[in-house]
A and B are shown apart, each in its own frame.
Chain A
Amino acid sequence: MRLRRIGAITLAALMTAGTLAGCSGKTATTETTNAQTTAAAETTAASSDTKAASGEKTVINIWSKDRHDASYVQEKVDQYNKTNTDNIQVNYQLYTDNYVQAIDMAVQSGELPDIMVQQDQMFDKYVNEGQWANLYDFMDEDMKAYFKDVIFPGYNELDEKLYFIPTTGTTCRLFYNKEIFARAGIAEPPKTLEEMVADSKLITSKLSGEGIYGFAENMKSASSGLQRSLMVGLQRETGLVNGYDFVKGEYDFTPWAESLKLWKELLSEDSAFPGCESLDIDPLRTQFAAGKIGMYMSYSHAEPGVYQNQFPMDSDKWDCVPIPTVGGKTNGKQYFSGTGGYVINAKSPNLEKAFKVYKDIFTNEDYLVGYYEGGYGVSILPSVISKAKPSVDFQNKKWLLISDIDALLPKPPHSAFASGMVVEGEDMYKTCESIYYGDADPDAALKDLTDRYNKAYQDAIKNNTGYEIKIPGYDPQNPKLQ
């Protein structure tokens, strides 16, 4: 009886210990990982603080959100793992969905990798927490000189600290199928939004019997679809950055009405690809590659790689042009974003080695030339552009390159202090959605949106969760960041 009781209590204690071990994830994981590392140095350890004992390899973890260049980067990482003489093992991991949430969780649990692909939201969130390393602390003079053209104060250089180096750039364009345009009798791609609506309707009326439609956009998520299309056109058309006037220091969405009325037509049954409302970007691309969609808008850096590797399509069949605006108006520049940048975890126990890995793999000229030539991104480095022989897409399609209609734009308040500015009700993307699906009156909805954003902005300033953003003498045709 006594023995049974002791046995039962021991069993219960073991169960409790198991439960507690499950709850204290960090300690348990670290210990397990260390044990595994000791047993087999080559193992793909998940923990970032895999400190090498003598003779063991130092594990450097890299996280990426980009699928389009994954095979290229993996190849370079494998090559580095085979050839490096510093006893370093690099693990390259993809987190394409919920990248920001994965970073958030990793920060909270102290499991942040050593190197990560830079993304605006995660960068802004943790830059003031001292989470990202100042690259100037490690860069020699040669490296500083090599990258001097891509250092933009107020963007990647803040308070004289350099946090990431963009090596390629991206912006948004209208992609169109030349064959479909020719079949519909359209001589050239649209320059105005009005022409675009007419072209889309013409294609749908002539070719929908064959399952070919004029226009599509990935509208399953309004924000994802509009950020690469409508918002970009509106930047050039209105000179405002996502509705924000940097001279007046206030939001004004009312100039969007004309564009949204035309978008309503663009997405109507007699124009748009059926099922746009539930379309993600990759299913859209498969249909474009299959010759079922006349036009759509997306990022310039990604599409060449997609149609070369992911969903093969003959390069002669497609091209791209600037996103059309109402009446062809251009009162400002449209944003281009630096890509190909990596941030280094300032709290990494292997900080110096992490920088070495970053420098050896991602800032190596062979890597950068190969990246551009492979069609994974559009280089913004003069030295790479002069040496590279980019793919036919980049040689023949001039609008894939960053041009004089593109510029780095300053961040409006809702981006600069996103969590400090709480907008009550639907955001700008969902409001646009309700307008182009005909559920809201454009003028009334945009006036209400303007009022709500300005109120949220003023509240943020009042509550010290935000600050006033005004750029005296701001010229939308020649924008400056601060």
Chain B
Amino acid sequence: MKETISRNLRIKKTLKHNLQTYSFLLPNLILFTACSLYPVVWTLKYVFYQYGGYGTGKPIFVGIANLARVFRDKVYWESVLHTFTYGFGKVLIIIPLAFFLAFLLNQQKRGNGVTQSIMFLPTIMSSAVMGLVFYLLFNAYNGEVNKYLLESGIISRPVNWLGKDHAMKTLILTAVWGGVGNYMVYFIAGIQQISEDAIESARIDGAGKLQTIWYIIVPMLGPILKIIMMLAITSAFNDITNVMVLTEGGPNNATMVMSLYGYRYFFPISAAEATVPQYGYGAAVSVVSAAIAGVVTVIYLKVSKKLDDIY
């Protein structure tokens, strides 16, 4: 009896002590539940239903039919392939480029600060605006790129940069331009953390500029490189605005990525009268896409453990 009273008192005391903490946690908890947890649970539920949205009748339970359909859906798996092409294309270009720029602009030279700011500008620009600007640059009929290439005699006929053969490359270029400034800033922060002593001793030992970069700076950037790569990969998997504004996933799904493929079942993009949402199938596509992104992240984390060991 005495023990129970003392335990209750202890719990009361702990609760009283933590009341302040819980009070501050509450708004976040509510937001997290409403904006993250609830949509996830909602999505998981509708994986098992056929539902066209409000005003289209009650959802019909279809079991695992939606998931089975995802595995039969050729266009979806093509969109997964496009996502990997887009993601790896972006990462392969953006990481070395951001590092190169960071290394150049980290030096104490006049104008570097301004250049850094200019390079960072696309990061704070809206993706939709960026997409429109790139459309003006790359459209085949009066885009600035074709105009310049035609005037300088490099091409004799307009190149269809947003056509089937080049659209993915144009998208990757847009993504690189939009993200390089951001990763450059991360690299600059990483480079500034490296002890000057380590670089100095390498130089004393006779290391040249390239050797210092390769044997000292790159290995010492290991932990930050791991984070940068992780951010680049995950953002590439979720990139949707860029694709939507520039190509809407076309022509003929040539630039359809998996996030946009799922999105179009929730919010049909076209103005077609007969296009209606398919929430159940969209949910199934989203769940499978999230699983794919999760698997890629886990594989990456395992591989990148080596980067930790280097440091």
Contact = CB atoms under 8 A, between A and B. Distances in A.
A280 to B, nearest CB: 9
Interface in A107-163: 107-108, 120-121, 125-126, 129, 131
A277 B160 contact: yes
B301 to A, nearest CB: 33
Contacts, number: 149
Contacts of A370: none
B273 A121 contact: yes
Contacts of A426: 75
Interface string B260-272: 0000000101111
Contacts of B26: 12, 15-16
Contacts of A107: 54-55
Interface residues of A, number: 58
- If over half of B's interface residues share one DSSP class (helix, strand or loop), that class is named, otherwise mixed; here it is loop
A224 B270 contact: yes
Contacts of B246: 278
Given A125-B55, A277-B160, A277-B162, A20 B30 contact: yes
B43 interface: no
A121 B276 contact: yes
Given A19-B27, A275-B158, A434-B252, A223 B55 contact: no
A341 interface: no
Interface string B70-110: 00111100000000000000000000000000000000000
Interface of B: 19-20, 23-24, 26-27, 30-31, 34, 50, 52-57, 60, 69, 72-75, 135, 139-142, 157-158, 160, 162-164, 167, 246-248, 250-253, 267, 269-278, 281
25 contacts: A8-B23, A9-B19, A9-B23, A18-B27, A101-B267, A104-B53, A104-B54, A107-B54, A107-B55, A121-B274, A129-B55, A221-B272, A227-B272, A227-B273, A274-B141, A275-B158, A275-B163, A278-B163, A278-B247, A419-B52, A424-B69, A425-B74, A426-B75, A429-B272, A465-B50
Interface of A: 5, 8-9, 12-13, 15-16, 18-20, 23, 98, 101, 104, 107-108, 120-121, 125-126, 129, 131, 208, 211, 219-224, 227, 242, 273-275, 277-278, 283, 287, 292, 414-415, 418-420, 422, 424-427, 429-430, 433-434, 437, 439, 463, 465
Given A275-B139, A275-B140, A433-B252, 7 more contacts: A5-B20, A8-B20, A19-B31, A23-B30, A275-B141, A419-B52, A465-B50
